[in-house]
Chains A and B, each alone.
Chain A
Amino acid sequence: MIYFLLKRLAVAVPTLLILIVVSYVLMYAAPGGPFDTERTLPPEVMANLQHKYGLDQPLAVQIWRYVVSIVTEFDFGPSFQYTDQSVNDIIEQGFPVTLTYGGWSFLVAVLVGVSLGIAAAVHHNTLLDYLSVGVSIGAQVLPNFVLAPILTLIFTLWLAWLPGGGWQGGHWPYVIMPVIALSTSFMASIARITRSSMLEVLNADFIRTARAKGLPMWRIVFRHALKPALLPVISYLGPAFVGMITGSVVIDVFFATGGIGQFFVNSALNRDYPVIMGITILAGGLTILFNTVVDLLYAWIDPRIRY
């Protein structure tokens, strides 16, 4: 297992480094600097600003400094747009929000998706099955940025049950719509995957044996069939995680929840490079970390896989 972890690290570290270097070079090559304003600054002021942020150094030195400060101090540098804040401040401010509704969404997607999938498979070719298949097809064409306006239209404008945006420190009415909007399409995918793998497992010989022994259905499903049926679901968790991180950008922008995505889009519109890069690298790092955890989980559930 330790060998496996080391092997994963051997891939993860270069990936992150490539991500950092490529985004830094892209940023460096970009036309227009962060200090381009409506009126042109005097050259001395410009030079001072450039010097303050270390932008007058050669490219290699800049990248080296950037990487070193991230690795040694976990410091992503200052923000150009919010002059009194560093990228770290922004991450500290936005990340807990994103993590809160992101975590709930993940939980909802997995729990509801798996239960729906199991129910559909166990009651194969009944109304329940068709219903769950219908839901998962419908949810496919409703990505978060389509679902979010629809939810707001129904629950805020028509029924006036839930607030249309804001966060209020994570008070529950403010969390519901972000969680539904973010989790639905993943919930549908998980339900579909669970259903088809469960159907496959339920047709296996060892399930027939269990039935022949006269075991009750719930015991067959939960003790014998669930574990093998969940394997494909677990391998989907990695992409689902990436999708949720990406989707959180839409949620933050649409519901004004104040999470990381809002800062990301703002910075993208204002060319605040350190913030864009900091968030991109953070998302990349989290993805790699999560994928490693998923791989370990996979190995733990399926003893046939040895690293």
Chain B
Amino acid sequence: MSPFIFGRRAIRSLSAASVEDAAGGRSLWRDARNRFLRNRAAVASLAVLVLLLVFALFGDLFAAWSNEEIDWALLGNVAEEGAPSLANGHYFGVDELGRDLFARTVQGTRISLMVGILGALISMVVGTLYGAVAGYFGGRVDSVMMRIVDVMMAIPYMFVLILFMVVFGRSILILFVGIGLISWLDMARIARGQTLSIKKREYVEAAVAIGVRPARIILRHVIPNLLGVIVVYATLLVPSMIIYESFISFLGLGVQEPDTSWGALINDGASQMQYGTLWQLLFPLFFFVVTLFALFFLGDGLRDALDPKDR
């Protein structure tokens, strides 16, 4: 679903962005940090995300109930008595089975964030290596490797991913592997585009001249210089990973009970909304929307900070 968020044009402009040398005296990263800190929306987003991380990691400690436990006192009259309340320990209310929504939201946040971050990491590692190798060797290697990417891009991957989940059983591991497998394609294109311009640099030439092997040149000279653009794109990948996962869980094909994720929670809440138990929809929805907003602003801030074209 990355085209939802990231048009081809944006990708192209990222892959065309030239990598500039650090200005004498101040380092590239320090400059970037200064620019980033001046962007208030991005800093606020970072704060929101830190809070969210704390919520995901330590929310359990404040929960009065576990995410599987059924509050038998409320089962059957969820609509009347299951609403959010501090008195009975259900801060976010309970779901249609009388399970504590606070504990479930903590758990869902954990899974959604984990999928987002790990998925982006997988795609970053695979995509960068793939793109850097294709770009560095060029010629036939490049055209074969990029043709493979083209072919894979022409496949409606969500269908294939669901097929994957059906065949190998629905588990978080398979979800990671599946999402990781399809998400590196754009990353590979960006990395390749950047590598094409990096490999003409003097320092790469010098490394070739003194006989450094290609694998070492790619790892030591090419990839570190790709990092700025890659980090920006990876930040923007996190929300798309979260959307992928929520999409699949919304359809009931993702994580399995008693585990949950934002997509599954939104689906549960949506199926119950005609009974007036709106908290079941609105809490997960709020977390989802706020997180995505924060991630997009963070990504934009990082792009402004790290994109050398903007200087």
A positions within 8 Å CB-CB of B: 11-12, 14-15, 18-19, 22-23, 26-27, 29-31, 137, 140-143, 145-146, 148-150, 152-153, 157, 164, 185-186, 189, 192-193, 196-197, 232, 235-236, 238-240, 242-243, 245-246, 249-250, 253-254, 264-265, 268-269, 271, 276-277, 279-280, 283-284, 287-288, 291
Contact = CB atoms under 8 A, between A and B. Distances in A.
B253 interface: yes
A280 to B, nearest CB: 4
Contacts of A197: 9
Contacts of B278: 153
State the 5 A-B residue pairs at the shortest beta-carbon distance, nearest first.
A239-B3, A149-B270, A141-B292, A30-B167, A246-B158
B176 interface: no
Given A140-B296, A153-B281, A146 B288 contact: yes
7 contacts: A141-B289, A143-B246, A146-B266, A152-B273, A238-B8, A269-B252, A284-B156
Given A26-B167, A157-B273, A242 B251 contact: no
Interface stretch (B110-118, B121-129, B147-155): B147-155
A30 B168 contact: yes
B64 interface: no
B159 A239 contact: no
Given A30-B167, A142-B289, A157-B273, A287 B155 contact: yes
Interface class of chain B by DSSP: helix
Interface of B: 1-5, 7-9, 147, 150-151, 154-156, 158-160, 162-169, 239, 243, 246-247, 250-253, 263, 266-267, 269-270, 273-274, 278, 281, 285, 288-289, 292-293, 296
Contacts of B147: 11
B293 A145 contact: no
A145 B247 contact: yes
B151 A250 contact: no
Given A146-B285, A240-B3, A291-B154, A23 B160 contact: yes
Nearest to A245: B156
Contacts of B156: 242, 245-246, 280, 283-284, 287
A290 B272 CA distance: 38
A192 B7 contact: yes
A189 to B, nearest CB: 6
B167 A236 contact: no
B253 A288 contact: no
Contact of A189 (B4, B151, B166, B267): B4
Contacts of A11: 147, 150-151, 154
Contacts of A279: 159
Given A149-B273, A246-B1, A277-B163, A284 B155 contact: yes
Given A242-B3, A264-B162, A284 B281 contact: no
A235 B8 contact: yes
B273 A15 contact: no
A250 B163 CA distance: 16
B3 A250 contact: no
